[in-house]
């Protein structure tokens, strides 16, 4: 018997009504079977998060529930804003075990370790795969990934997306079994007989000359080529265009032109989103850019971004040896801003590849977790990237 999966969506204004409508559609394909796992993605500016999650949890008290706030939602109903998207899954062959890691700000790596430990303890052993949803604003995203791998091992299939807050860059929310957290990472471990494919691609290209990181610590870059980090942007665009007022987060301006790290031995760039700049010109990023790295300012085009999404979808299917029965998509907010009125075209092309009737749920993120180029032993934290996860029972 194949995996039973449904996806529901709602834009009703009241959180309880939105949850009810989305759940009703998501549960239909399960034919009154209890969902083993519910995944919820929702706008934090439209919905009271507590009321929304209480409504989902009270209707499904015996199900594992994870999710997070977003900067836009994705489903079979399209690319939407101000909505809630719910995926419900029931399986005879897969066990879903959820977990939590708190206090990312204090120690992001330990948060990742705690998440993995909690899943392994509850699951009675190491899972084959983990889907993770961290706070994208709390700390070094790459260290959260490292923490999970410290405990679960580098051979685990790991993917996910960082929670958003409708492009405000102030506060995100992570959901776990009726509780709401901030500054945490939630996740679900998958055990049993299944295939999972992960496709990863961004499509951004470098502009200008590379700069060397001469001073950095964790996710803060102080200097490129022994000069204040912000000067890299000032040299490219002019000082007037890179000066940021206190009321305008640097992330809103720099997200169109992120930083790219050239990966040694690969014809590929790892993207890093700048989040803020201080009075001394140091740039805080969503994850670290190590000292000695060669970094570029990157630029994206609409066609390159959409083509990259198609490549990611095709790659995710190659790894599952058959048709997908459920698909999750973690799509960076920067791609949404780049594509603007063509963001629906990206989703349409993805659905054309995976199958229009295959249940699809996802959201626009503040960072993505996935292997580099799909190679399982190279999992990292990404920005500006499309991560597509295809799942089917064996």
Q: Is 84 within 8 Å of 43 (Cβ atoms)?
A: yes
The residue that leads in pLDDT, 242 or 304, is 304
The radius of gyration of the chain from alpha carbons, rounded to an integer in Å, stands at 20
Q: How many CB atoms lie within 10 A of CB 352?
A: 11
| ∠ CA 215-221-226, rounded to 5° | 40
Residue 139's alpha-carbon distances to 183, 348, 368, 382, in angstroms, are 8, 33, 14, 14
Work out the pLDDT band at 301, boundaries 50, 70, 90. Answer: confident
Tell me the pLDDT tens digit for each residue of 9-48: 999 999 999 999 999 999 999 998 999 999 999 999 999 9
Q: Is 279 within 8 Å of 391 (Cβ atoms)?
A: no
Tell me the pLDDT tens digit for each residue of 361-377: 999 999 999 987 545 45
Work out the pLDDT band at 254, boundaries 50, 70, 90. Answer: confident
In the block, which residue shows the tokens 């503040």? Answer: 366
In the block, which residue shows the tokens 């993995």? Answer: 116
SS (H, E, C) 97-128: EEEEECCCCCCHHHHHHHHHHHHHHHHCCCCC
Q: Is 213 within 8 Å of 293 (Cβ atoms)?
A: yes
Per-residue model confidence (pLDDT) at position 75: 98
Residue 121's alpha-carbon distances to 99, 155, 187, 212, in angstroms, are 9, 19, 14, 43
Q: How many CB atoms lie within 10 A of CB 267?
A: 7
Per-residue model confidence (pLDDT) at position 45: 98
Tell me the C-alpha distance between 37 and 387, whole Å. 20
The enclosing H or E element of 56 equals: helix 49-59
Instruction: For residue 59, give the nearest of 94, 15, 92 by alpha carbon.
Output: 15
């Amino acid at each position: 018997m194949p995996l039973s999966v449904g996806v529901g969506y709602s834009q009703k204004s009241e959180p309880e009504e939105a949850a009810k409508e989305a759940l009703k559609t998501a549960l239909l394909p399960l034919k009154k079977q209890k969902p083993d796992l519910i995944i919820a993605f929702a706008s934090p500016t439209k919905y009271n998060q507590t009321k929304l999650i209480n409504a989902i949890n009270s209707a499904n008290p015996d199900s594992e529930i994870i999710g997070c706030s977003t900067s836009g939602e994705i489903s079979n109903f399209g690319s939407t804003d101000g909505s809630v998207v719910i995926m419900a899954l029931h399986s005879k062959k897969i066990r879903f075990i959820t977990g939590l890691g708190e206090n990312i700000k204090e120690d992001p790596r330990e948060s990742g370790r705690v998440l993995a430990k909690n899943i392994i303890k509850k699951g009675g052993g190491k899972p084959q795969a983990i889907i993770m949803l961290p706070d994208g604003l709390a700390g070094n995203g790459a260290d959260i990934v490292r923490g999970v791998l410290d405990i679960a091992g580098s051979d685990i299939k790991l993917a996910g997306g960082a929670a958003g807050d409708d492009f405000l860059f102030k506060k995100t929310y992570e959901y776990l079994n009726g509780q709401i957290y901030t500054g945490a990472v939630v996740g679900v471990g998958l055990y049993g007989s299944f295939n999972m494919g992960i496709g990863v691609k961004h499509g951004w290209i470098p502009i200008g000359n590379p700069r060397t990181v001469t001073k950095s610590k964790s996710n803060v870059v102080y200097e490129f080529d022994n000069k204040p980090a912000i000067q890299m942007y000032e040299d490219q665009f002019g000082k007037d265009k890179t000066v940021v007022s206190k009321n305008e987060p640097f992330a809103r301006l720099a997200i169109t032109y992120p930083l790219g790290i050239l990966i040694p031995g690969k014809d590929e760039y790892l993207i890093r989103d700048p989040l803020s700049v201080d009075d001394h010109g140091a740039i805080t990023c969503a994850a670290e850019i190590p000292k000695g790295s060669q970094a570029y300012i990157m630029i994206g085009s609409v066609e390159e971004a959409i083509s990259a999404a198609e490549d990611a979808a095709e790659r995710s299917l190659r790894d599952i040896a058959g048709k997908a029965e459920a698909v999750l998509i973690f799509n960076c907010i920067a791609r949404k801003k780049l594509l603007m009125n063509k963001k629906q075209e990206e989703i349409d092309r993805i659905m054309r590849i995976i199958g229009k009737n295959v249940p699809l749920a996802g959201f626009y993120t503040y960072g993505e977790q996935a292997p580099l180029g799909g190679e399982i032993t190279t999992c990292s934290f990404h920005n500006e990237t499309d991560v597509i996860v295809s799942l089917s029972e064996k």
